[in-house]
Amino acid sequence: MTNQGNKILKGKTYSLFGNHESTDEYYRVIRELTDLFLKRCPDEKSLLLHIRKAGGGRSSLSKAHDSSLIPFIKKTLTESLSLYTEGVRKHLRDLPLSRRLDSILRTKEVQYHLYMIEIELVNRIYKEAFRNSKYKFALIAHCLRDFRPDCRSIEGDIETICRGCTKECFIHIGSVLLKKYNIHPYISLSMDLDKLFKKIRAEHQSVGALGIACVPELVSGMRLCLKLDIAPVGIPLDANRCARWMGQANESSFNIEELERLLK
């Protein structure tokens, strides 16, 4: 089971299906693009730094030997990833003034493309540190639940826990897989991740965090983890369809096989 019954999902701003029947092609493209960029900048952490600065609109290579790297990356990403972010421009054009203070909601198309590479790079850099962490936990986006029954999740020690109401629920499917790798799964409901992560970090010698969230929220969480010395990895939702984006909650999915590939 790769995606939700091979059902193509369209998000408010992005869909990892693009024009394909599954998201497998997206992950193949992301890996190939990352490999391509690493040929120009072989150090993974250095490339990650340049990509982050490029997303902020600042010149990151003014003193570097390859000043053409960032323009090359942006051009290549636009050509390769635009089919996955077709909804961004309309979303930004229609975004009410009152909601433009939300940095997640006002994410630009070029930032989406850079974030997609950032997620892949962070996974490559911190995968082993995550695996070797004494305590590993996962936050799974609540919009991944099965919307047919009432959710029977219960309060856990840091967030709510899935009770496995239906076998088709992506939170249940993800939780079963995560437990197999000794990762504590929780349903993400808290907006105060800074407070939550600091609490976890204070209670454990070494911590690894796995996120399953929409592209901009996943990147935001990964960056926060790194500031707090938590090893992060993550898988993006196939599309952003929750109430924050669409005004009401809609079913979503993620690539199960990619999650297991990350954990092996």
Asked if residue 109 has pLDDT above 80, the reply is: yes
- For residue 210, the SS3 value is strand
Distance between terminal CA atoms of the chain? Answer: 17
> Which stretch of DSSP H or E encloses residue 212?
strand 207-213
> What is the value of pTM for the model shown?
0.91
pLDDT of 125-161, one tens digit each? 999 999 999 999 999 988 887 656 566 665 656 666 7
Instruction: Copy the structure tokens of residue 237.
Output: 């939702």
pLDDT band at 53 (very low <50, low <70, confident <90, very high): confident
State the Cα–Cα distance between residues 10 and 4, nearest whole angstrom.
Answer: 12
pLDDT of 10-29, one tens digit each? 999 999 999 999 999 999 99
The pLDDT of residue 137 is: 96
Domain ranges within the chain, ordered by starting residue: 4-263
Asked if residue 2 has pLDDT above 60, the reply is: no
Tell which wins on pLDDT, 210 or 147.
210
For the segment 106-122, the average pLDDT, to the nearest whole number, is 97
pLDDT of 176-191, one tens digit each? 999 999 999 988 776 6
Most confidently modeled range among 64-73, 170-179, 208-217: 208-217
Contacts of 197 (CB under 8 A, 6+ apart): 209, 224, 225, 228, 230
The pLDDT of residue 188 is: 75
pLDDT of 58-99, one tens digit each? 444 444 446 789 999 999 999 999 999 999 999 999 999 989
